[in-house]
Structure formats: C-alpha cells, structure tokens
Amino acid sequence: MDLYAAVAAALAGRGLELAAPLCVPAYDAAVAEALRLPRLGRAAPLALVVGNTRALWPRFLAARRAEPDPLDRFVEREVAAALADAAPGIARAVRFAHDAPVTVAIQRAAAIAGLAHLSASHLSVHPTYGPWIALRAVIVLDADGLTEAPPPLPPPCVCATGCGPAFAAALAAGVPSGEAELRERWRLWLAVRDACPVGRAHRYGEAQLRYHYTKDPAALG
C-alpha cells in the first residue's frame, strides 16, 4: 500500500472516513499568503484533506473525555494516532479546520481536491453525502504529492431552487459574527443545509446537529 492509501485507511479506521489527495501548489495559489500550507522542503508534498460523515458521532461519544471542545480534541487525538500508525517517522504538518485563528481554507482545499463542491450557500457538498459532512484537517507529509489538481467536480446542484431561498432567509437575519450569534439563529442555518436534496439519507441525528450548531454540552448526553 502506498503512503497516501495507508494514511487514508488509518484515518478511516478511526472515524475520519473522507479523504482526498490535495495538490498543494494549486491550493496555495488559491488562498491568501497566511493560509498557505508548509511544503516541508518539497515543491509538491503529499497532502490529504480529511473529513467525516455522521458515522463519526457514535465513535466520538464512546471515546469522549470531559474537556472543553471535546470533538475538536477527539479529532486531534485520532489524527495523531492514525499518523503514528501509518506514517511513523515521517515529518508532517497538520492544519485543523477548528484552529483559531483560521489556518486553512478547508472548503477551498476540499473543492480543489475534488472531495466536495463549494456551493453558493457556502456549504461543501459531497457527491454522496451532500452537505452532511464535516471537514477536519489538512495533513502535509514529507513525501512527493500531486503536482496538478484534478478537474473540478461538476456542481451537484440538481434542483430548481436549491438552497437559495433558505440562504437568503438566513442572510436576512444577518451573517453570524461567530459561534455565539450562530447559536441564536441556528435553525435558520440548519434550514440552508436541509434545503439541499443531495445526501438527505446521511443527515446528522438530532444530538449531533444540536452539538455542531450550538456546542451545547447537553447534546452529548
């Protein structure tokens, strides 16, 4: 198995089952300087965009510890463990989607890697799972990677109205300045995701939904 396949399999075994190879030069050309990725001394290092579906939730609940932002910490531990298993001794740099301040434009990375289309409502839409995915990290490894990006995914938009009206309604209440404001109006933003007909069978369960939009610890049971 090559290094990419070994790392992707190790991540999938830990609940991070979405991955795609990322062409770092193409990503770097698309983002502001502060969001560029480390090259680890190579022109085009091996890089993966990593995400998950709702399948992560039961694994997370089973492994969760009492700590602030437990899902983010869980993701950090699982990525570290997968890399220790599948890429021991290989230099790496990891950029998490939850890093604050933001270190990676992960939706652009997912689009460039052909993992998920970036829709007009700012949701990343996977061909199978629709918008019911989370994007977690970009991993850069000290090995050779893609020098060219694959052709972009065709837009998966299959409906006439799409997410437009729900997005307009959410915008009318104002773009949340951050998580606190998102919490106040989260049902409006949930409606944007629910408007997408792609991947409806993969919608998150109620507790997972509530936690993602509100970070309400009560949703952890």
- Footprint of ligand B12 (CB under 6 A): 35, 97, 102, 104-108, 118, 121-124, 131, 133-136, 171, 175-176, 178-179, 182, 189, 192-193, 212-213
Q: Side chain identity at 53, as an amino acid letter?
A: T
Structure tokens at 165: 């009206």
Q: Which is nearer to ligand B12, 94 or 104 (CB)?
A: 104
Gyration radius (Cα) of the chain, Å: 17
Query: By C-beta, is 14 or 193 nearer to ligand B12?
Result: 193
The minimum distance between CB 214 and ligand B12, in angstroms, equals: 9
Closest CA to 49 of 116, 1, 3, 103: 116
Q: Which two tokens stand for residue 107?
A: 């939706």
Cβ contact 97:106 at 8 Å: yes
Determine the 3-state secondary structure of 18 from DSSP. Answer: strand
Q: Which of 109, 81, 84 is nearest to 95 (CA)?
A: 109
CB of 115 to ligand B12, least distance (A): 10
In the bound state with ligand B12, the residue whose beta carbon lies nearer, of 119 and 142, is 119
Question: Least distance to ligand B12 from the beta carbon of 89, Å?
Answer: 28
Q: Which is nearer to ligand B12, 38 or 42 (CB)?
A: 38
- Least spacing, CB of residue 184 vs ligand B12, in Å: 11
Q: Which residues contact 172 (CB under 8 A, 6 or more apart)?
A: none
Q: Which is nearer to ligand B12, 164 or 176 (CB)?
A: 176
**Cβ at position 118, least distance to ligand B12 in Å:** 6
